[in-house]
Amino acid sequence: MGLSHLDRLDRTGEVIFKDNFSSSVAGVVEGDYRLDGQVQLICTSIEGEVRGYLPASKALKGNLMDSNAEQDRIRELSQRRQNLLLELRNYEENAKGVSQTNSGMGVIPANTQLQTTLSVRAATEAQKAHVELSISTPNETIIRAVLIFAEGIFEGESHVVHPSVQNLSGCVRVPIIPPKDIPVDLHIKAFVGGRTSTQFHVFEITRQLPRFSMYEVTEDSPAAPAGTVSFSINERPQRVRGRTK
């Protein structure tokens, strides 16, 4: 029964040399087989066949390294090709369903993105003064639910808005009443899809609620005060002026 001798790279296991024996190998040792000062790998078979193998020269090692680098590059490019083909297949499947945005698969147009705005709302009979966070999409898609994570604003540090089926739209408005005049990061997650979708895309965005967000500059100038105040000071005018500096 013959036996193959294989040399492999220790890093990748790639075969770089192959030799066949006509019979089974009896032993493998190292030694100066030719008595020329070079240590060889010596293999002997059960039928007395003896073969010696020298280590590769520096030039050959360089070629092997270059070949190994090329093989690594080929494997890397092949993997990238597979990934690109898979991505292309997904785009093709999405392109087929763009006109069917209301399908249960939740396919949405490629230009869909999440837009947010902040505005100050004055108090009314039905609601206190607050900062209104508006979350919207630029097309016919709808927002099925919104999750907002913010420290120190909501109870439990999170807030969920889940519109009813009758009130689904591409815009959700969330009133926010910050307890302190400090900046707060709002971590927003929105579920976006078609009106009859059962699967939704999750959009994530972070928006900062600025310091003093509950204050708004009014356009009306306040009227000058009409009242006056009179008081007497038992000090010399020079001393009074010196203290007010």
pLDDT at 186 (0 to 100): 94
15's CB contacts (< 8 A; 6+ apart) are: 6, 7, 8
pLDDT band at 101 (very low <50, low <70, confident <90, very high): very low
Structure tokens that stand for 106 in this block: 């939740």
Distance (Å, rounded) from C-alpha 193 to C-alpha 155?
28
**Which one has a higher pLDDT value, 19 or 41?**
41
**Which one has a higher pLDDT value, 23 or 242?**
23
DSSP 35-76: SSS--EEEEEETTS-EEEEPPPPHHHHHHHHHHHHHHHHHHH
pLDDT band at 169 (very low <50, low <70, confident <90, very high): very high
Q: For residue range 23-56, list pLDDT tens digits in order.
A: 888 888 988 878 888 888 888 888 888 888 887 6
Distance (Å, rounded) from C-alpha 38 to C-alpha 172?
81
Q: Is the pLDDT of residue 205 over 70?
A: yes
Q: Specify the amino acid at residue 152.
A: G
Q: For residue range 126-167, list pLDDT tens digits in order.
A: 888 899 999 999 988 999 999 999 988 888 889 999 999 888
pLDDT at 219 (0 to 100): 73
Q: Is the pLDDT of residue 212 over 60?
A: yes
Structure tokens that stand for 82 in this block: 């597979």
Domain regions of the chain by residue span: 3-55, 60-100, 115-209
95: enclosing H helix or E strand:
helix 58-97
Q: For residue range 51-92, list pLDDT tens digits in order.
A: 888 876 655 555 555 566 677 778 888 888 888 888 887 777
Cα distances (Å, whole numbers) of residue 194 to 110, 112, 203, 211: 13, 12, 14, 36
pLDDT at 237 (0 to 100): 66
Task: Give SS3 for 150.
Answer: coil
Structure tokens that stand for 162 in this block: 């889940």
Cα distances (Å, whole numbers) of residue 57 to 5, 13, 19, 35, 138: 19, 20, 18, 19, 66
Distance (Å, rounded) from C-alpha 158 to C-alpha 148?
6
Neighbours of 146 (CB within 10 A): 22
Q: Which fold has domain 115-209?
A: Immunoglobulin-like (2.60.40)
Q: Is the pLDDT of residue 116 over 80?
A: yes
- Contact yes or no for 102/196 (Cβ under 8 A): yes
Cα distances (Å, whole numbers) of residue 236 to 5, 16, 72, 99, 239: 113, 105, 93, 87, 6
Q: Specify the amino acid at residue 125.
A: E
Distance (Å, rounded) from C-alpha 43 to C-alpha 158?
72
pLDDT band at 215 (very low <50, low <70, confident <90, very high): confident
